[in-house]
């Protein structure tokens, strides 16, 4: 009861302090996925409250309004409904006194990421080809981006990047965090290698790699097994990232450019001439009809509200989609060549040439989003909260 009285008195003006003016520069609200980031200019010694409610305006008497007490800028406010309009305002108080007048209301509509893009810090001029996210051996969470000529960058937020000077000077094609390590594929003139690192300083090649004579282009993991695919139907798998073995049965000699593992228990790999193959174990593969003869460059999948979906993208804007992992149908969504796709439970994002980025809730209806770049985007990683895309000439952009 004593705690309740203290809080009540503070909210109503009790205590030794007094009201403070709203932030002099007002507030800005940046929408995200089910959340917004509220920012303002803080004054020393002022305690700020954020007031918010559905609708075009909020006051201290708006029915159903909510508050966040004694918060600092920037403040991420979660638990909002995508597509709904919310209003936000701020007031201040000192010493636990009464709140001052509210700032003017600012509105925002939470939405999935992928509609608004901005550039990250420089990654130099080399072509970047892959990006992932994971936990380094020191416990820090890092994004890792790899590309041609040993171009490797790490960052904590996917926006600010630092070069990893200890990385091998090779042409990296893809990267993935799995088996408690970062794994990256490299190739030069038809010869491949697979590097792994846990701390970005020590990089090692596998003890056994039967695919040294073939370019490896993409990799995926189910958490206990990692599978890499490459030229001439090459498929390698490993349970530790150290020793690799050749797949027992691969029904194609086409180059393979993309692979994914979907929680349904299915591996899907795609490549040249519309080749699409599936596997239940990563070792024995079966050919499927993709519905297109265009080269497919990337594939992803996930569990949506309507069930599992599998989505492959490729040259000429082709998208091949399946609901069961067995029967695929293709459509064309634009003129850009598509090189990367990311599917998660609520949204699919595909990127490609000319800075193209398309979003879709179902892999049927697609929306072209402005990215601010005309560079080829080769790879995308993320979720409806944040996407990172990398590509030609050091291009890296993010969407929140």
Give the model confidence (pLDDT) of 107-126 as tens digits.
999 999 999 899 999 999 99
Domain end call among 87, 108, 129: 108
- 278 and 333 within one domain: yes
Q: Are residues 44 and 123 in the same domain?
A: no
Identify whether residues 84 and 199 lie together within a single domain: no
Do 153 and 302 lie in one domain? The reply is yes
Q: Return the pLDDT at 211.
A: 64
Amino acid 306: pLDDT = 87
Indicate whether 356 and 238 sit together in one domain.
yes
Shared-domain flag, residues 196 and 332: yes
DSSP state of 10: H
pLDDT tens digits, one per residue of 189-215: 766 789 999 999 999 987 776 666 788
Per cent of the chain over pLDDT 70 is 94
Range of the domain at 96: 2-108
pTM value is 0.85
Asked whether residue 100 falls in the same domain as residue 134, the answer is no
Count structural domains, the chain: 2
Same domain, 82 and 152: no
Which residues are CB-contacts of 61 (< 8 A; sequence separation ≥ 6)?
A: none
Give residue 17's pLDDT band: very low, low, confident or very high (50, 70, 90): confident
Q: What is the pLDDT of residue 19?
A: 81
pLDDT over threshold 60, residue 88: yes
pLDDT confidence of residue 9: 29
Mean pLDDT of 76-86: 94
- Mean pLDDT calculated for residue range 348-353: 98
DSSP string of 268-306, one letter each residue: EEEEGGG-EEEESSSSBEEEE--S--SPEEEEEEEEETT
Q: What is the CATH number of the domain that holds 276?
A: 2.130.10.10
From 51, 79, 108, the end of a domain falls on 108
| pLDDT tens digits for range 240-291 | 998 999 998 999 999 999 999 999 999 999 999 999 999 999 999 999 999 9
Q: What is the CATH number of the domain that holds 88?
A: 2.60.40.10
Q: Hunting for tokens 């909020």 — which residue is that? A: 58
Q: Which of 108, 134, 157 is the last residue of a domain?
A: 108
Let me know whether 6 and 126 are in one domain.
no
Would you place residue 5 in the very low, low, confident or very high pLDDT band (cuts 50, 70, 90)? very low
**Same-domain status, 355 and 257:** yes
Whether residues 132 and 150 share a domain: the answer is yes
Query: pLDDT for 378-388, tens place per residue?
Result: 999 998 789 99
pLDDT at 394 over 60: yes
Span 142-153, mean pLDDT? 97
Q: Are residues 70 and 165 in the same domain?
A: no
- Average pLDDT over the chain reads 91
Q: Which residues pair with 108 in a beta bridge?
A: 86
The two tokens of residue 290 are 């993709």
């Amino acid at each position: 009861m004593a705690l309740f009285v203290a809080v009540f008195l503070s909210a109503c003006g009790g205590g030794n302090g007094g009201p403070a003016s709203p932030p002099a520069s007002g507030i800005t609200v940046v929408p995200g996925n089910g959340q917004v980031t509220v920012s303002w200019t803080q004054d020393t010694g002022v305690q700020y409250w954020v007031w918010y409610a559905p609708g075009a305006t909020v006051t201290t008497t708006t029915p159903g309004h909510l508050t966040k007490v004694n918060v600092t800028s920037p403040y991420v406010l979660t638990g909002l409904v995508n597509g709904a309009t919310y209003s936000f305002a701020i007031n201040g108080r000192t010493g636990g006194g009464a709140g001052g007048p509210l700032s003017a209301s600012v509105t925002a509509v939470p939405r999935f990421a992928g509609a608004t893009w901005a550039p990250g810090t420089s990654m130099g001029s080399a072509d970047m080809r892959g990006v992932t996210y994971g936990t380094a051996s020191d416990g820090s969470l890092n994004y890792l981006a790899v590309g041609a000529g040993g171009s490797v960058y790490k960052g904590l937020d996917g926006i600010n990047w630092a070069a990893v000077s200890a990385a091998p000077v090779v042409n990296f094609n893809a990267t993935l965090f799995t088996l408690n390590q970062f794994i990256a594929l490299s190739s030069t003139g038809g010869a491949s290698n697979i590097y792994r690192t846990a701390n970005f300083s020590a990089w090692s090649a596998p003890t056994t790699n039967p695919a040294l004579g073939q370019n490896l282009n993409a990799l995926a993991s189910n958490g206990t097994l990692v599978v890499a695919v490459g030229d001439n139907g090459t498929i390698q798998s490993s349970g530790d990232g150290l020793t690799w073995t050749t797949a027992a049965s691969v029904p194609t000699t086409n180059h393979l450019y993309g692979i994914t593992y979907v929680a349904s228990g299915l591996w899907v790999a795609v490549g040249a001439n519309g080749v699409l193959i599936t596997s239940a174990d990563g070792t024995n593969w079966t050919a499927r009809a993709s519905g297109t003869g265009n080269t497919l460059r990337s594939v992803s999948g996930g569990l949506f509200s309507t069930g599992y979906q599998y989505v492959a993208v490729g040259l000429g804007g082709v998208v091949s989609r399946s609901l069961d992992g067995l029967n695929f149908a293709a459509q064309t969504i634009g003129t850009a060549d598509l090189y990367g796709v990311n599917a998660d439970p609520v949204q699919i994002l595909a990127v490609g040439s000319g800075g193209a980025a398309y979003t879709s809730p179902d892999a049927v209806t697609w929306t072209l989003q402005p990215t601010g770049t005309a560079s080829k985007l080769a790879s995308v990683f993320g979720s409806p909260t944040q996407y990172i895309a990398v590509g030609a000439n050091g291009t890296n952009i993010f969407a929140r």
